[in-house]
Amino acid sequence: ANGRRFVVAIERDISERHQMEIELSRERDFRRQVFDLQTTLLAVLAERRIDSCNAAMTRFVGIPGGDDAPGELAAVVSRIVERPGYLDRHGFSEWLSDPQEGSAAPAHLLLRAPRGNGVHTFLVERRRLPAPDTRQLLALTDITELEEKRRGLERLAATDMLTGLLNRARFN
């Protein structure tokens, strides 16, 4: 009788463990779907390497091997376009290395688009994951359209609509 109870208890434990694994797998799949639905480029960084990233990051940066494949941060750095007022390659590396707890101040970054589709402007944010995890979440939000609209408004504010010449406000 004791042997039978022991076998039943083991079978119950195996069944419960199997059920937990199924639930964990569903939760992981759900989180992956939510992660991949984001249009913001997202990557989890561990020791200056991309530990995992969403589908948007994979498509834009071209990390081979799928969404969960680790990759070198160099894939992002190689697409940086250097212009005054934006993070350059060195500035981006320093910004990522900032030991500040929590999150770093957002910055602007220009990245060359895949397949020659121009240059995109991104708002870049970094947050440390909750302790004891030492990884960081890197989020790049494409603000290209907003930047183009802002530049257009600056042009309108600085030029005469009728003649297209610079107005007085531009000289002050």
CB atoms within 10 A of CB 7: 10
pLDDT at res. 67: 47
Task: Dig out the tokens for 68 from the structure.
Answer: 């969960």
Question: What does the pLDDT look like over 88-131, one tens digit per residue?
Answer: 998 888 888 766 655 668 889 999 988 777 899 999 999 888 88
State pTM to two decimals. Answer: 0.72
pLDDT at res. 128: 86
From the list 45, 75, 81, 44, the residue with the least C-alpha distance to 60 is 75
DSSP element (H, E) containing 166: none
pLDDT at res. 36: 81
In the chain, which residues have pLDDT < 50? 67
pLDDT at res. 102: 58
Cα–Cα distance measured from residue 139 to residue 123, given in angstroms and rounded to the nearest whole number: 8
